[in-house]
């Protein structure tokens, strides 16, 4: 018959092994979800605003009026 301490040590060892397996399964999934959420937030914060053709045309006309870029304007 096994000593009484062997049952306690075996039970504790089983709990530890199950905990390690759980951590090895849970931690990478949670890490990947956090990374994906962080990248999505980063891309949203640093995204260039999309402008319409009309807005781009108006900006170009304003640049011509202000002579930005050093272009020679012939009237």
Assess if residue 5 is contained within a domain.
no
> How many distinct structural domains can be found in the chain?
1
Query: How many angstroms separate the CA atoms of 23 and 19, rounded?
Result: 6
The pLDDT value given to residue 1: 76
Query: How many angstroms separate the CA atoms of 32 and 53, rounded?
Result: 38
Which three-class secondary structure state does DSSP give residue 48? coil
Listed in sequence order, the DSSP H helices in the chain are 4-45, 53-66
Range of the domain at 58: 48-75
Assess if residue 2 is contained within a domain.
no
Predicted structure pTM score = 0.51
DSSP string, 58-71: HHHHHHHHHTTT--
Assess if residue 37 is contained within a domain.
no
Q: What is the pLDDT along the chain (75 residues), one digit of tens a residue?
A: 778 899 999 999 999 999 999 999 999 999 999 999 999 999 999 988 888 999 999 988 888 777 766 666 565
Assess if residue 13 is contained within a domain.
no
């Amino acid at each position: 018959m096994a000593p009484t301490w062997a049952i306690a040590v075996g039970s504790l060892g089983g709990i530890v092994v199950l905990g390690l397996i759980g951590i090895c399964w849970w931690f990478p999934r949670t890490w990947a979800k956090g990374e994906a959420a962080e990248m999505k937030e980063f891309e949203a914060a640093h995204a260039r605003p999309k402008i319409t053709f009309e807005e781009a045309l108006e900006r170009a006309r304003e640049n011509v009026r202000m002579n930005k870029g050093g272009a020679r304007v012939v009237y």
